[in-house]
Structure 1
Amino acid sequence: MSDATYVNFETRPAAAWGAVLSMTLCVALLIASEFMPVSLLTPMAQGLGATEGQTGQAISISGLFAVLASLMITTIAGRLNRKWVLVGLTALMLVSLVLVAIAPNFTVLMVARAALGICVGGFWALATSVIMRLVPERDVPRALSLMFGGQAMAAAFAAPLGSYLGGMLGWREVFWLLTPVVAVNLVWHVLALPSLPARGGQSLAALTGLLRRPYFRRGLAAAMLSWGSAFTMFTYLRPFLEQVTGVDVTVLSVLLLVLGLAGFAGTWAAGRIDGSRVAPLLMLPALVMGVDTLALLLVGGSVLAVGVLLAIWGAMNTGMSVIWMTWMSRNAGDAPEAAGSLMVAAIQVSILLGAVVGGVLLDRLSITATFLGSGMLAAAAILLIGNGQRLLRRAA
């Protein structure tokens, strides 16, 4: 990004923190909606007459459409005001939740999840570039941390509440309960987001131009491996806790709450990083979460040990998003929407493949094989990242 653009950010009369908070709530709702099947995997599979591995593909199908939406959103939206694009995506999320709640069969569920994938991909492709327009450059890491606090919020409360309320009321009712909150967020967007005129349409040249940068290609690959490792494990965490740890719904909800609450610590810590010194931190998520996943296989029979490991995993999971998006804003700030599209596509491909590969390993082998696969992906990410210097723009 040019120095002139940064000056424009700095001379805004005030940072639009109300709009940042509105996006924070949207993040929480998107994460809750996208990954709610994790906490409801078993009852959803039973209710739809499918296996747990098949139902896990409800996450992978949303990931597939998120990839397509992330690459196409700014081209399709053209010169539409980005405020109204975000409002439209939030409205589509509301429609998706209603379709999931009334889904009579697996096919309708997949259609609803595809619609949600469009919301996820479109929102995340624009999110970082919008944040960069809402606050001065010096406040971007803080604003990203605040926005990703929505991820911690969802991780803290959505999964445990989902599993608990799903046991009490039924899994369909859990999705119904999300709909009024999304409606409130829709209105908040309209009131809080300032006008955000498009700054030129995204072209294929902008995407390919970034992909021609060696450091950016390495960063995308490393991010894919990091997220792929995380979601090969996380998508099938409930079967692990039920089969290996032997927990009931109540203990499951408590463990998911521990994982989620720890996310606030990860977001808080990541929000205080110096964006100019992000390189050494890039390897940290894959290292900590990979070791954590393998440790779960060793001490999975102890509820206390599992709780400690899930707390560590949850803190690093939310920190990972802030770390990588800070890397993106610092090393591709001259093309933030194109970079956001590619980053979101890479991450969603990883989530998709993680859910697919993890599900196949679970159905054909065991939950142990699923977690070992996660650890192998983390090891590959660590080897690629190294000290992080080759992922910086000056190293290109």
Structure 2
Amino acid sequence: MRNPVLLLIAFGNFAVGMGAFGVIGLLTPVAGAFAIPPSEAAWMMSLYALVYALTSPVLVALTGRFDRAFILTGGLVVFAFGAVLAAVAPDFTTVLVARALMALGGGFITPVGASIGVALVPAEQRGRALAIVFGGLTLAQALGVPACAWIGYALGWRFAFGLVAVMTFLCAGLLWRSLPRAIAVPPTTLASLGAVLASPVLVLAVAYTALFLGGAYVVFTFLGPFAEQRFGLGRDGVTALLLVFGVGAVVGNALGGFLSDRIGPLRTLVLLGCAQIATLLPMTLLPLPMTGLFVLVLLWSVACWAFMVPQQARLAALAPPLTPVLFALNAAAIYLGGSVGSVTGGQVLRGFGFEALGPAAAGLVLVGLGSLALVASMQRRPVAGA
């Protein structure tokens, strides 16, 4: 599929994803710059996730009557201005204000971009279109964190935020020139948001994102320390492991679109959930050789990042008139899942050690698989607003 607009939306997702998640690799430089502990610097991620989760669905609903090209490019500009403010912030409070501004802009980009991507292609190509659109976000999460870390240590954390701003401004300009006007997508309103939240089927369907990615982040958050302690890896070894994870993410994103079009979104999600459980359990429980760790991380990453496209396609099929709001809630659930997984992993690590991370992660994914079965059993009921 050759569609330059889809590639530009993917580029926007990459820039925004790098700006959103890249701060994980900037905690130490920022903490040193403002003489604060790393735990306090971590609020850069926590505040972004909180503002995004609380505002994105509401803002997407409130702006549902406006032209999608205007909303998407406007969100990119707001995000870019937030990155500029972070780059020049004189104190950490200003950095947090900048992160909140970035979250407000970012809350439009992923869900609105997905809605546009779906609208630009025939129904039978939606899976591949979403794979392209979300390929940018996948690359950002897989490669953006180590890239930002390297930039932060080598050139300074302000340079990292400045680079994100430049990429985002550039993407906004290119999309404004390239996007067709008056793109036909279902309009969103607060009533449509209320319709989703009032539907147990749709709420459970979106919850699968938080559960599936929550399970992944239980282990991913502590993958570096785990590899250091269990396998004695240093800087280069951990970097290589993260790069393998990144390769798996790219493969997984493409595989998710292919499987979604071939066997359907629901079957794909069940398969991926089982695959993630099958890789997470032995990763922390068994005394693996070094090669085994790298192979499992690759397979786990493929299973993990193949998830996004079929989940989006599933949501779009459940209630087509409510697709934009569902995409916004699903994007918010990504950040909720990351937060839940990180907190859960920290508690498990303190209480039971690295060995328990895999079983805890698998438990969350198993609950997610249960939600798939529950939604399937409830689907015969009419969905409000659909």
Query: Would you call these one fold, judging by a TM-score over 0.5?
Result: yes
Matching residue's letter, 1:316:
A
Paired with 2:44 and 2:99, the residues of 1 have a C-alpha distance of 6
Q: In the alignment, is residue 293 of structure 1 matched against residue 248 of structure 2?
A: no
Contact 1:163 1:249 in 2 (8 A): no
Cα distance change of structure 1 residues 175 and 81 upon mapping to structure 2, 3 Å threshold: same
Contact 1:266 1:315 in 2 (8 A): yes
* Range moving further from structure 2, 191-200 or 263-272: 191-200
Q: In the alignment, is residue 123 of structure 1 matched against residue 109 of structure 2?
A: yes
Contact 1:90 1:119 in 2 (8 A): yes
Q: How does 1:1-396 map to 2 (within 5 A)?
A: 17-196=3-182, 202-275=188-261, 277-298=264-285, 303-359=290-346, 373-386=360-373, 389-390=376-377, 392=379
**Which secondary structure state, in structure 2, belongs to the residue aligned with residue 334 of structure 1?**
helix
Per the TM alignment, residue 86 of structure 1 is displaced from its structure 2 partner at its CA by 0.8
| 1:184-208 superposed Cα distances (whole Å, 9 cap, x missing partner) | 2122111111113686753333223
Cα distance change of structure 1 residues 49 and 127 upon mapping to structure 2, 3 Å threshold: same
Paired with 2:125 and 2:112, the residues of 1 have a C-alpha distance of 18
Contact 1:75 1:203 in 2 (8 A): yes
* Range moving further from structure 2, 206-215 or 135-144: 206-215
* Range moving further from structure 2, 332-341 or 381-390: 381-390
Q: What is the percent sequence identity of the aligned residues?
A: 25
Per the TM alignment, residue 224 of structure 1 is displaced from its structure 2 partner at its CA by 2.1
Paired with 1:95 and 1:83, the residues of 2 have a C-alpha distance of 19
Matching residue's letter, 2:135:
G
Contact 2:134 2:253 in 1 (8 A): yes
Name the counterpart of 1:7: none
| 1:121-179 superposed Cα distances (whole Å, 9 cap, x missing partner) | 22223233222221222221111011122133324532333333444334443333333
Contact 1:19 1:194 in 2 (8 A): no
Paired with 2:104 and 2:9, the residues of 1 have a C-alpha distance of 17
- TM-score w.r.t. the length of structure 1 is 0.83
Matching residue's letter, 1:312:
L
Per the TM alignment, residue 32 of structure 1 is displaced from its structure 2 partner at its CA by 1.5
| 1:319-370 superposed Cα distances (whole Å, 9 cap, x missing partner) | 1111100111211212212222332333333233334444555678756666
Cα distance change of structure 1 residues 392 and 285 upon mapping to structure 2, 3 Å threshold: farther
Matching residue's letter, 1:295:
P
Paired with 1:358 and 1:110, the residues of 2 have a C-alpha distance of 25
**Which secondary structure state, in structure 1, belongs to the residue aligned with residue 259 of structure 2?**
coil
Paired with 1:119 and 1:324, the residues of 2 have a C-alpha distance of 23
- TM-score w.r.t. the length of structure 2 is 0.85
Paired with 1:98 and 1:364, the residues of 2 have a C-alpha distance of 40
- RMSD between aligned alpha carbons? 3.2
Matching residue's letter, 2:59:
I
**Which secondary structure state, in structure 1, belongs to the residue aligned with residue 307 of structure 2?**
helix
Per the TM alignment, residue 43 of structure 1 is displaced from its structure 2 partner at its CA by 4.3
Name the counterpart of 1:10: none
Contact 2:276 2:300 in 1 (8 A): yes
Contact 1:225 1:350 in 2 (8 A): yes
Matching residue's letter, 2:312:
M
Paired with 1:171 and 1:302, the residues of 2 have a C-alpha distance of 36
Task: Mark the runs of 5 or more structure 1 residues left unpaired by the alignment.
Answer: 1-14
Paired with 2:135 and 2:156, the residues of 1 have a C-alpha distance of 28
Task: Mark the runs of 5 or more structure 2 residues left unpaired by the alignment.
Answer: none
Paired with 1:165 and 1:386, the residues of 2 have a C-alpha distance of 44
Paired with 1:370 and 1:104, the residues of 2 have a C-alpha distance of 39
Paired with 1:105 and 1:313, the residues of 2 have a C-alpha distance of 39
**Which secondary structure state, in structure 1, belongs to the residue aligned with residue 339 of structure 2?**
helix
| 1:38-75 superposed Cα distances (whole Å, 9 cap, x missing partner) | 33444444444444444444322211111123222234
